[in-house]
Amino acid sequence: MEYGEITLAQLDQILAEQRQRYRPFGTIAADLCHVHETAIWRAWAHQYAQCCPRVRLSNEVVDESVLHYIHPQQAWEYRMLPLREHDGDLIVVTSQRRLPLSLHYIDRFMNHSVVVWLADSPSELEKHLKQHYPDCNKMNYLHEAEHTATAAGASTTGNPEAELF
């Protein structure tokens, strides 16, 4: 409702359906109200950001043994840095801007329990990505090209999902 995707009446309908069938809110919203998946992911990310921890990466130590969970290309594309494992969960740090896309990627492609934290500083996150993923020169070039193309209204990631967020 906050984003104008559904009405109050539709919200009531979704909640009633959820009480009866115990299905996720976003799934019901997509099915009953034809809410686009992108809007659902953005709304979920907005809610998630309200309660997820924020981290200053300069105060953290990255456990090198968890870096293999995210391929360098995905680390750069989604701005995700695996930090460490804790109680069976992989802690991944991303930026506020990339949170919807990161959550979407984690949900679809990661076969590990993941907890997402937000970096206090996107530039600090980039610094750590450069430090921990040695192939970042190519990725950094793609990142700069993406910013240039995005400013001109074009896409360079080659990933249509990345453009949704």
The residue with tokens 């130590």 is 61
pTM for this structure? 0.68
The two structure tokens encoding residue 97: 């801007």
pLDDT at 134: 72
Check whether 159 has a pLDDT greater than 50.
no
pLDDT at 128: 94
Q: What is the pLDDT of residues 31-60, one digit of tens each?
A: 887 878 778 777 777 777 788 899 999 999
Q: Which of 31-40, 92-101, 132-141 has the lowest mean pLDDT?
A: 132-141
pLDDT at 152: 47
- Indicate the DSSP class of residue 117: E
* Structural domains in the chain, sorted by start: 8-51 (no CATH), 54-164 (3.30.300.160)
pLDDT at 160: 40
Q: Alpha helix locations (H) across the chain? A: 8-21, 25-33, 37-51, 72-78, 99-109, 122-132, 136-152, 160-164
